Amino acid sequence: MNLMTIPPWKYHVFLSFRGEDTRKGFTDHLYAALKQKGIITFQDDKLQRGEVISHQLLQAIDESLISLVILSETYASSSWCLDELQRILESKRSLDREVIPIFYEIDPSDVCHQRGTFACAFQKHSLRFAENKEKVQRWRDALEEVSNISGYDTTDQHEAKLIEEIIAQVWAKVQPNLPYCFDDELVGIESRVKDVSALLKIGLCDVGFIGIWGMTGIGKTTLARIIYKRIFHQFDVSCFLTNVKENSKAKGLVPLQRKLLSKFKIKDMDIDDAYEGKDMIRKLLCSKKVLVVLDDVSEISQLENLSMKKAWLCLGSRVIVTTKDMHVLIGHGEFEIYKATFLNNDESLQLLCKRAFKKDEPLEGYLKLCESVIHHAQSLPLTLEVLGSYHCGRSELEWKEALEKIKRFPPSNILMRLKISYDALSDMEKKIFLDLACFFKGMNKEQVTQIFEMCGFCPVLGIRELVEKCMITEYYYDHGVCLVCIISFKKWEGLLFWRNPQRMLAKEV
C-alpha cells in the first residue's frame, strides 16, 4: 500500500454563491468544469438552510483549500451568504486558505462600499438585526475585505473563456497542495533525491543545470520525475519533456518545442520549423522562472534547439537533463553532473523481495537464491524488477531452474531495453564493446588497448566513448586499470552472437 501524508483538508474548492442569481447559469457551468477537471468541490446548496449557518457548512469551509466567492446582485441580501463569507475570510487568516472573488455582473466598488443592491440589502439587515449592529458591521467589513482581493470580473467577458481561466488558476493553486504519494516500490530513492536536490540549490538566485547520467534501467527518469513533482510548484512555468531522443527521432524537435511553449499559455502560437521554435522559446524563457526536465537527451543539438543556455534563462530557473551519454553534458559545458548509482546489496534485496514476495525480506529458504539473482542482475533496478516479478509465486526448485534459464535466455523486456543502447553505438564502438564483453572483461586497460591498436581500432577514444555512454566502466586497482562491461556478457549473449555467430564458435573453442 502506498503511503501518503493525510491532508488537512477534504475539498479542493468551496463554492459560495447566491442560488437565485447564478445556480442555473454561471455557477452550474463553473461547477461542471471543476468536476470535469477532477477538482473536488463543495456546493452549499446541498444543505438544508435555516436561520443559523450549520456546523457542517462551517467545517466544509475550513476543510477547503480554496473558496470561490461568486458575488452577484443579491448576494448581500442573504444572511446565510454573508455568514459564509465571514467564515471564509476567517479561514483565510487562520488557516492560510485561498480566496478568489468573482464579481458576477456587478461593480467591485459597489461591493466594497455597499452601493446599489448591496445598499438596499443592508438597509433591511440594519432593521432586522437592530439589536446586533456588530454582526451587520462584520458583514460590511467582510465585503470590503473580499472586494480588495484580486479576482475576476465577468463584465464584457465570454463566460466559457472566463471559466477556463478560473479553472487554470484553481488547478495551479490546488496541485502543489495535493498529497505526495510515496511509492514504496522505489527502493533507495530518498537518498538519491537528496543528493540531486543538493546540487539543484533551490532558492538561490541563479540558473542551475543538473545532468543525471547513467545506464539504461538505473532509474534516471524515475529520479527526475520525483524531484520534478516535489518542486515544480516553486516555479512560474514547469515542463517535463519525456523521451526526447525517441520523440525527436520520430517526429523532429518542433512538437517538443510546441509542448514547451504551450506551458506559457499563449493562445494561437504556431511555429513552422525548429529555428523559429528555438527563437520563440528563447524570448519567453528569459521572462519567467522555469523548471524544465528533458528526459533521455542524446545530442547537444536537442538542448540547443530547446534553448537551454544559462544566459537565456531567468534567474532562479532550473534545468534537469537525463542522459546515457556523458559527452552530451560535457559538450554543452554548463551542467553539474550527477552519476546515477546502482543499488547497494541491501537495497537490491529489498527491491527484489518486493517484486517476488510482496514484502521487504525473502521467504525462509530463499535468501541464497535471491543473492544469486542479485549477482546476475548486477543490482540494476530494471533487471531486479523484471526478474522479481518473473520469480513471483514460484517454488525453490522453480527459482533454481528459472535462474539457469535467464542466464542462457535473458527476458526479452530486459534485452530490448538494453539493446537500444547497443544499437546507438558506432560500428567501431560495437566492435570494441563486443570484444570487451566476450574476451577481455576484467583485463588490464593498457593490455587491451595494445591489442585493439594492433587490430587497427582507435581504442583510446573508443574506450572513452563507451565509458561516457555507460557501456563499460573502469576499475582502478594496485597494478593499473581494468575494464568491465556494465551490462554483463550473459545478459547480452543472445544479441551479441545473433549479430556475430563467429564469436560463439570462438567461445566454444
The reported pLDDT for the residue numbered 501 is 37
- Is 50 exceeded by the pLDDT of residue 489? no
Q: How far apart are CA 392 and CA 364, in angstroms?
A: 14
Torsion sign across C-alpha atoms 25, 26, 30, 31: negative
Query: How far from 193 is each of 124, 175, 201, 205, CA to CA, in Å?
Result: 60, 21, 12, 21
Residues 377/383, Cβ–Cβ less than 8 Å: yes
The reported pLDDT for the residue numbered 123 is 93
- Is 90 exceeded by the pLDDT of residue 268? no
Domain ranges of the chain: 3-176, 183-339, 345-408, 418-508
- Is 80 exceeded by the pLDDT of residue 88? yes
| Fold agreement (183-339, 418-508) | no
What's the CATH fold of domain 418-508? Answer: Arc Repressor Mutant, subunit A (1.10.10)
The reported pLDDT for the residue numbered 346 is 92
The reported pLDDT for the residue numbered 478 is 55
What mean pLDDT is reported for the chain?
A: 83
The reported pLDDT for the residue numbered 146 is 95
CATH number assigned to the domain with residue range 3-176, chosen from the 4 options 3.40.50.300, 2.40.50.1020, 3.40.50.10140, 3.30.70.1230: 3.40.50.10140
- Is 90 exceeded by the pLDDT of residue 337? yes
φ/ψ (deg, to 5) at 362? -75, 155
Lowest average pLDDT, out of 231-245, 413-427, 454-468, goes to: 413-427
Give the residue among 53, 36, 50, 137 at the shortest CA–CA distance from 16.
53
Segments in 396-488 forming alpha helices (H): 396-408, 412-423, 427-435, 445-454, 459-468
Compute the average pLDDT of residues 388-402: 89
Compute the average pLDDT of residues 273-289: 87
Q: For the segment 411-459, what is each residue's pLDDT rounded down to a tens digit?
A: 777 777 777 777 788 888 888 888 877 777 767 788 888 888 888 888 8
Burial of 61 (0-12, 13-18, 19+ CB in 10 A): buried
Residues 487/481, Cβ–Cβ less than 8 Å: no
- Is 50 exceeded by the pLDDT of residue 104? yes
Amino acid at 184: D
Q: Which residue has the higher pLDDT, 287 or 137?
A: 137
The reported pLDDT for the residue numbered 2 is 40
Ranges 45-59, 133-147, 363-377, most confident = 133-147
Give the residue among 194, 163, 217 at the shortest CA–CA distance from 342.
217
Q: How far apart are CA 321 and CA 195, in angstroms?
A: 15
Q: How far apart are CA 461 and CA 300, in angstroms?
A: 19
The reported pLDDT for the residue numbered 236 is 84
The reported pLDDT for the residue numbered 45 is 58
Give the residue among 79, 69, 86 at the shortest CA–CA distance from 124.
79
- Is 50 exceeded by the pLDDT of residue 7? no
- Is 90 exceeded by the pLDDT of residue 124? yes
E strand or H helix at 322: strand 318-323
CATH number of 183-339: 3.40.50.300
Q: How far apart are CA 238 and CA 260, in angstroms?
A: 9
The reported pLDDT for the residue numbered 229 is 86
* Catalytic positions: 84
pLDDT band for position 242 (50/70/90)?
Answer: very high
Compute the average pLDDT of residues 137-145: 95
The reported pLDDT for the residue numbered 155 is 87
pLDDT band for position 496 (50/70/90)?
Answer: very low
pLDDT band for position 212 (50/70/90)?
Answer: very high
pLDDT band for position 182 (50/70/90)?
Answer: low
The reported pLDDT for the residue numbered 464 is 86
What share of the chain in percent tops pLDDT 90? 39
Give me the residue label for grid cell 477556463.
164
Q: Which residue has the higher pLDDT, 181 or 21?
A: 21
pLDDT band for position 281 (50/70/90)?
Answer: confident
pLDDT band for position 507 (50/70/90)?
Answer: very low
Lowest average pLDDT, out of 163-167, 245-249, 478-482, goes to: 478-482
- Is 60 exceeded by the pLDDT of residue 183? no
Residues 227/186, Cβ–Cβ less than 8 Å: no
